[in-house]
């Protein structure tokens, strides 16, 4: 019996490994395509923007200035002010009620809020409490990006 020749014969190893690799690549490629075809790919990329906002309360004017300090640019129509203690009598480019959008007049080009953009939020006294909330156009995704509370809230 020629056992030595049996252990040294590796002619069939290379084609078998090649077939296994091709099957693995095909399965992975099919899984990626199926993910996007079934709509799961859209959910992966549908995340809230990362941005930082600061607030500055001016008791003499009865307003809180909200400023976009940095991070992602966000469509003004996707930013809402939600909470309580809003004042009244605001100008057209100011916030004075719950669930109001960031005014497009206070956004930069293409109606996007970018670093440096600001808006005045009218408040009634020191007991205000509101949040700047991002909500996607479809309403499937939302996130609180900033909060502001008065000294008496």
- Sort strands 100-101 and 51-58 into parallel, antiparallel or unpaired: unpaired
In this predicted structure, what is the pLDDT of residue 3? 61
Given CATH 2.60.40, say whether it is the number of domain 51-149: yes
Confidence label for 42 from pLDDT (cuts 50, 70 and 90): low
Position with higher pLDDT, 153 vs 63: 63
In this predicted structure, what is the pLDDT of residue 108? 85
Torsion of CA 41, 46, 50, 54, to 10 degrees: 180
DSSP class of residue 86 equals B
Element (H, E) at 66: strand 63-71
CB neighbour list of residue 98: distance below 8 Å, 6 or more residues apart: 81, 82, 83, 84, 86, 130
**65-71-72 Cα angle (round to 5):** 105
In this predicted structure, what is the pLDDT of residue 69? 95
In this predicted structure, what is the pLDDT of residue 13? 62
Q: Which two tokens stand for residue 12?
A: 């069939």
In this predicted structure, what is the pLDDT of residue 126? 84
pTM, rounded to two decimals: 0.67
Torsion of CA 5, 7, 10, 11, to 10 degrees: 30
CB neighbour list of residue 125: distance below 8 Å, 6 or more residues apart: 62, 85, 150, 152
- Sort strands 118-122 and 63-71 into parallel, antiparallel or unpaired: antiparallel
């Amino acid at each position: 019996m020629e056992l030595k020749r049996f252990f040294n014969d590796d002619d069939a190893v290379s084609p078998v490994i090649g077939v296994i690799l091709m099957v693995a690549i095909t399965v992975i490629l099919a899984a990626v395509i199926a993910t996007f075809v079934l709509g799961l790919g859209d959910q992966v990329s549908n995340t809230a923007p990362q941005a930082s906002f600061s607030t500055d309360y001016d008791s003499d004017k009865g307003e809180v200035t909200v400023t976009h300090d940095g991070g992602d640019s966000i469509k003004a129509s996707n930013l809402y002010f939600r909470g309580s203690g809003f004042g009244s009598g605001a100008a057209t480019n100011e916030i004075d009620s719950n669930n109001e959008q960031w005014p497009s007049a206070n956004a930069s080009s293409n109606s996007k809020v970018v670093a440096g953009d600001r808006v005045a939020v009218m408040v009634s006294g020191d007991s205000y409490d509101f949040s700047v909330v991002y909500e996607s156009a479809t309403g499937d995704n939302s996130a609180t990006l900033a909060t502001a509370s008065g000294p008496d809230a």
